[in-house]
Chain A
């Protein structure tokens, strides 16, 4: 026991003495949190629009002003020909072209049907879909108003309509930050824990100290425990630190119990540290270890459900996600922080992490050999 404590002490001395490591541990997470939370957003704001109004009628202006009134759109140009508008899109100045053909109002009145054209830059398919949906909504709304105006001029109140009003649960203001912070916190502790543990034992290999350690009577389990616990403590501290920043700066809700968050984090970190340790035992240089860690990290993060919903991935990917520890923990964090889920709600995910931790640490200990 004394041995483990001393190894832990030694690791801490080394971490705090490493002038390049300290910023990685303490500054990087804050910067990441600040940048990612503000930048990684799917909300569509400020869609630049060029309106080609060839009709120049009351109705066409009414439609244009509906777009103008929406907070999402910014009409930055109103050229008189389609070619001009297309040139703007080619340059990347506008994301959407709204073309109102000549005779728009006339057709509307005489034929009761008319056309407008929407051209959306779909290089980013997801945002194009959103722009399309928003725009279609505005046009439908416009349509409905015209219908009411023309059918019942002057007696608006006479019509009975079913009003639908949506309310969004768990994130009533559809605040993207609220949704992102729990996930990004997971990302932070994962990066720190995986990199630190993945590079640590391999560092001892690189500088040759592992030789000296291996000839001592120290037990595998003592050595590994002495190696993992310091990083576990650092990562837990990091999570606490991130939560404080999230609360103070982004005012994220923490609906559930903090204890439950930290309990899950405790188990989750053992999975990640075990992973790092396993990488450490299988590589020979810090560089190799970094690259391998990086590979796993990118795959895990992109498939974690942080940015894209796991439910919309193909079935094979969803199956593959069963071994993605990030997916479990991000889900737990969102459930506990935003929904206020209790242990009973997350127990399945929690036990999955426990099993994962036991498996991966056993594997790492088995792989770590003192004899070549």
Chain B
């Protein structure tokens, strides 16, 4: 399959801070590729370099075969970029914003209406409302419409669902899937682990390095440890005591319970139960659980 975005050994420093450390990856055409990582991992820096807004210190990157430094003009015509911060004109109406971006890309709303129709039709009833007065979810829809209005081949979405409610987030991912079906390559970043499962492939990124690139299923499969969810009446003390349990690889809070992992054979369910009753915990439950992306991420982070 043809390559849409290709990055080789890309580095970027801000003074002493290494934002990106020699990262390499490639995204296929029509792929929905996710960058998963905490704040400060380097996601925005990477997106800005790919969107030709920032120059890398070393390494190369191409978008649809165009170099991000030499052919930046060509890239700007074929990409849609949605920065993490809402960056449309708050004092212009929904329609004025869309018209503005259509115009500076040399097109009109009518020309590409079918592309944005599905998204834009949801906010069209409010088209005379100022963008600043929209709700978070509607703002995202407008921003996506503006990023799509010139029919881009590649979409860069930097944390598009941050600060958006659960329903709108789900709708948003539905829309991304439909856009993907139209052959648009989409590169999206998110700090939400649960969204990773919705991507074709994900890259786990931390401190400027990519720790793993794989399909969400493979990421989970490659989880090397045994994982249990542990409940107790006193969750705070539980976390505290589990950390002292010899043989535990990692312990962290997961919702209302604790996730405990250890290497196969080092510990057993019975051993944990035994240890907890000795330390005086009540209502203890220990159940094996299938790891999700977040568990994998935590595991990788510890290794790093």
Contacts known (A14-B89, A209-B87); A371 close to B104, Cβ less than 8 A: no
* Chain B, Cβ-Cβ closest to A370: B53
A209's closest neighbor in chain B, by CB? B87
If A13-B96, A14-B89, A212-B83 touch, whether A217 touches B52 (CB-CB below 8 Å) is no
Q: Does B79 contact A (CB under 8 A)?
A: yes
A13-B92 contact in complex given A213-B104, A371-B54, C-beta closer than 8 Å:
yes
Q: Which residue of B lies closest to A3 (CB)?
A: B104
As a 0/1 sequence over residues 1 to 32 of chain A, the CB contacts with chain B under 8 angstroms (1 = contact) are 01100110010011001100000000000000
**Majority-rule SS of A interface residues:** helix
Complex CA gap A3/B90 in Å reads 20
A39 in contact (CB, < 8 A): no
B72 within 8 A of A: yes
Q: List the B side residues contacting A216 at CB < 8 Å.
A: 76, 101, 104-105
Q: List A contacts of B104 (CB < 8 A).
A: 3, 6-7, 213, 216-218
Q: How would residues 353 to 372 of chain A score, 1 for a CB under 8 Å from any chain B CB and 0 otherwise?
A: 00000000000000000111
Q: What number of A residues sit within 8 Å (CB to CB) of B?
A: 24
Q: A10 to B146: give the CA distance in the assembly, Å.
A: 16
Known A-B contacts A212-B101, A217-B73; A207 and B87 likewise in contact (beta carbons under 8 Å) = yes
A11 to chain B: closest CB distance in Å?
A: 10
Is the Cβ of A208 less than 8 Å from the Cβ of B87? yes
- Chain B residues lying within 8 Å of A2, measured Cβ to Cβ, are 103, 106
* Interface: A214 (CB within 8 A): yes
A156 lies within 8 A of chain B by Cβ: no
* Bound-complex Cα distance A10 to B83 (A): 21
A215 adjacent to chain B (CB < 8 Å): yes
Q: Is A215 touching B86 in the complex (CB atoms < 8 A)?
A: no
Give the CA-CA distance A224 to B261 in the complex, in Å: 58
Find out whether the CB atom of B77 lies under 8 angstroms from the CB atom of A217.
yes
Closest to B130 in A: A17
Instruction: Give the number of residues in B that approach A within 8 Å (Cβ atoms).
Output: 30
Q: Known: A207-B87, A208-B83. Is A3-B103 also a contact (CB below 8 A)?
A: yes
In angstroms, how far is the closest chain A Cβ from the Cβ of B102? 9
Measured CA separation A211–B76 after assembly (Å): 12
Contact of B89 among A209, A211, A218, A371 (CB under 8 A): A209
Taking a contact as CB atoms under 8 Å apart, the answer to whether B87 and A211 are in contact is: yes
CB distance from A95 to the nearest CB of B (A): 53
Are A214 and B146 touching (Cβ within 8 A)?
Answer: no
Q: Which residues of A have CB within 8 Å of B101? A: 212, 216
Instruction: Write the chain A residue with the least CB distance to B156.
Output: A215
Q: Is the CB of A212 within 8 A of B88?
A: yes
Could you tell me if B87 and A215 are in contact, using CB atoms closer than 8 angstroms?
A: no
Scan residues 72-131 of chain B and give those whose CB is less than 8 A from a CB of chain A. Answer: 72-73, 76-77, 79, 81, 83, 85-92, 96, 99-101, 103-106
Shortest C-beta distance, A202 to chain B (Å), equals 15
Query: Among the listed A18, A207, A215, which residue makes an inter-chain contact with B51, where contact means beta carbons less than 8 Å apart?
Result: A215
Cα A2 to Cα B102 in complex, Å, equals 12
Neighbour of A207 across the interface among B48, B90, B96, B105, CB < 8 A:
B90
Do A212 and B55 have beta carbons less than 8 Å apart? no
Chain A residues with CB under 8 A of B72: 371
| Cα of A79 to Cα of B181 in the assembled complex, Å | 100
Chain B proximity of A370: nearest CB distance (Å): 7
Nearest CB on A from B52, distance (A): 6
Nearest CB on A from B5, distance (A): 15
Q: Is the CB of B146 within 8 A of A212?
A: yes
**CA separation between A207 and B132, bound complex, in Å?**
11
What A residues does B48 contact at CB under 8 A?
372
B-contact bits for A188-219, CB 8 A (1 contact / 0 none)? 00000000000000000001111111111110
| Chain B, Cβ-Cβ closest to A226 | B104
> Complex: how many Å from CA A10 to CA B89?
10
Among A204-251, those with CB < 8 Å from B are 207-218
Alpha-carbon distance A135/B188, docked complex (angstroms): 83
| Chain B residues in 8 Å Cβ range of A14 | 89, 91-92
Task: Assess whether B88 is in contact with A214, with CB atoms less than 8 Å apart.
Answer: no
Smallest Cβ distance from B273 to chain A, in angstroms?
53
Kindly report which residue of chain B lies nearest to residue A219, judged by CB atoms.
B73
| A2 to B103 CA separation, bound complex (whole angstroms) | 8
The residue that A215 contacts in the complex, of B55, B81, B91, B96, with Cβ under 8 A, is B81
| B99 contact set on A, CB distance < 8 A | 6
CA distance A231 to B73 in the complex (A): 28
Evaluate contact between B53 and A215: CB separation under 8 angstroms: yes
Which chain B residue shows the least CB distance to A2?
B103
B109 CB to closest chain A CB (Å) equals 13
Q: How many Å from the CB of B283 to the closest CB on chain A? A: 49
**Is the Cβ of B76 less than 8 Å from the Cβ of A372?**
no
Which of A7, A10, A209, A215 neighbours the largest number of chain B CB atoms within 10 Å of its CB?
A215
User: Whole-angstrom distance from the CB of A47 to the nearest CB of chain B?
Assistant: 54
**Nearest residue in B to A210 (C-beta to C-beta)?**
B87
A208 engages B91 (CB within 8 Å):
no
Given pairs A208-B83, A212-B88, A216-B104, 17 additional interface contacts (CB within 8 A): A2-B103, A2-B106, A7-B104, A10-B96, A13-B92, A17-B92, A18-B91, A208-B85, A209-B89, A211-B81, A211-B83, A213-B104, A215-B81, A216-B105, A217-B104, A371-B54, A372-B54
7 closest residue pairs by CB, A with B: A208-B87, A6-B103, A215-B81, A217-B76, A208-B85, A211-B83, A218-B104
Write 20 A-B pairs (CB below 8 A) sorted by A numbering.
A3-B104, A3-B106, A6-B104, A10-B92, A207-B89, A208-B83, A208-B85, A208-B86, A209-B88, A211-B81, A212-B146, A214-B53, A215-B53, A216-B76, A216-B101, A216-B105, A217-B76, A217-B104, A371-B55, A372-B48
